Amino acid sequence: MPLYSMMNLRGSRHPSISYRPIRPSDLELLVKLHGDLFPIRYEIEFFHNVVHGRDIVSWGAVDRSRPNDENDELIGFVTARIIMAKESEIEDMLRFDRSRSDQSLVYILTLGVVESYRNFGIATSLIREVIKYASDMPTCRAVYLHVISYNNSAIHLYQKMSFLCVRRLHAFYYIDGQHYDAYLFIYYVNGGRSPCSPLELVTLLMTYMRRGLKLVFSRACKSGEKNGPKRVRYRDKGSLLPMTQSKRSIAIEGPESDHV
């Protein structure tokens, strides 16, 4: 068990947290932290891409108040990738100039904080680093991510930071032989926004609700004609928003991505 998992920080001191880019010397610890925090295993190529900055941007959190040989070790991290808006799964959730090919998004891949360092605002600060990075890119229109449906702490964190939950994706994750839903969260930057105004969004939701109720009523009537009166039970199919679903199959060997 690593030293940081056994430290009682609240009983001893307040950490002095600073943030820096993740670098090649962090490779071994970064792999270990992902293994400790997440219910999935990432390919080693992913970690090499992170530490060498190959199409992935990243930030690490370190505690400068730790002993000298440990004060530059990662105790938190966030990784993200730049994606072209036209190639993303959330293209239909953005209002942007489609005639421009340079419109981009930032997708958060992983976010994690060592357990003994949680509730110090480290995850919030790491997310702010990503938002600032995205905001400083004139062509970027949003930051987005996925959160597994049972990760209530991550869901609360993103809601608190004004991310918008725009979709529920059914069976998005496949972990250890079991499917899990995911929520899609978006934070708009640089004038990026939903293609729907608030009134349009409410209208869209009402339209989907009406369609769902009509479908249930129609099936109930048909069932009643064939089999006589029956009690009809309506099962919610999930999000009422338009959905483009991409399922993920993940192999398990053993999060907390902010998403997973």
pLDDT digits (tens, 9 = 90+) for 19-41: 999 999 999 999 999 999 998 88
Q: Are 34 and 110 in contact (CB under 8 A)?
A: yes
Task: Give the three-state DSSP class for 187.
Answer: strand
Give the DSSP letter of residue 95: B
Phi and psi dihedrals of 202, rounded to 5?
-60, -45
Q: How far apart are CA 75 and CA 190, in angstroms?
A: 31
pLDDT attached to residue 40: 86
Q: How far apart are CA 174 and CA 187, in angstroms?
A: 26
Q: Which residue bears the tokens 């010397």?
A: 25
- The encoded tokens of residue 87 equal 């190639």
Closest Cα partner for 78 from 29, 39, 127? Answer: 127
pTM above 0.85, yes or no: no
Give the DSSP letter of residue 115: G
Closest Cα partner for 62 from 110, 126, 134? Answer: 126
- The encoded tokens of residue 24 equal 């090649």
pLDDT attached to residue 223: 60
Closest Cα partner for 69 from 14, 31, 36, 29? Answer: 29
Q: Mean pLDDT for the chain?
A: 80
Cα-based angle 158, 159, 161 (whole degrees, multiple of 5)? 65
- Spans of the chain below 50 pLDDT: 1-8, 10-11, 229-258
pLDDT attached to residue 196: 62
Furthest CA-CA distance within the chain: 78
